[in-house]
Amino acid sequence: MEKTLFKFMAIAGLTATLLTSCKKENHEPACSSKPDSTSTLALRESNVPDNLKVKEILLAGNSFKEWMYTKQLINGQVVPLASCDMDNIPTFFRNGIYIEYDGPTSCDSVNTGVAGKGTWSLTPDGKHMNFNDPDFDGVFLILKLTPDTLVVQASSPDIGGTVQLWLHATHSKRLPPL
pLDDT value of position 173: 53
**149 found inside a domain:** yes
What confidence score (pLDDT) does residue 172 get?
57
Asked whether residue 178 is assigned to any structural domain, the reply reads no
CATH number at residue 138: 2.40.128.540
Q: Is residue 19 part of a domain?
A: no
Q: What is the pLDDT of residue 108?
A: 80
Q: Is residue 51 part of a domain?
A: yes
- Please indicate, yes or no, if residue 75 is contained in any of the structural domains: yes
The pLDDT assigned to 14 comes to: 34
Answer with the residue of higher pLDDT: 69 or 41.
69
Q: CA end-to-end span of the chain, whole Å?
A: 77
Query: Would you say residue 90 lies in a domain?
Result: yes
Domain range for residue 118? 37-169
pLDDT in tens, 115-169: 889 999 999 999 999 989 887 778 999 999 999 999 999 998 888 899 999 999 9
Return the H-helix or E-strand segment holding 33.
Answer: none
What's the pTM? 0.68
- Among 40-44, 105-109, 146-150, 167-171, the range with the most confident prediction by mean pLDDT is 146-150
Q: Where is mean pLDDT largest: 1-10, 30-39, 74-83, 152-161?
A: 74-83
In this structure, is residue 5 part of a structural domain? Answer: no
The per-residue pLDDT for 113 is: 87
The H or E element spanning position 142 is: strand 136-145
Report the alpha-carbon angle 150-40-176, nearest 5: 60
Domain-embedded: residue 16: no
Condensed to tens digits (0 to 9), the pLDDT of residues 63-101 reads 999 999 999 999 999 999 998 889 999 999 999 999 999
Total structural domains within the chain: 1
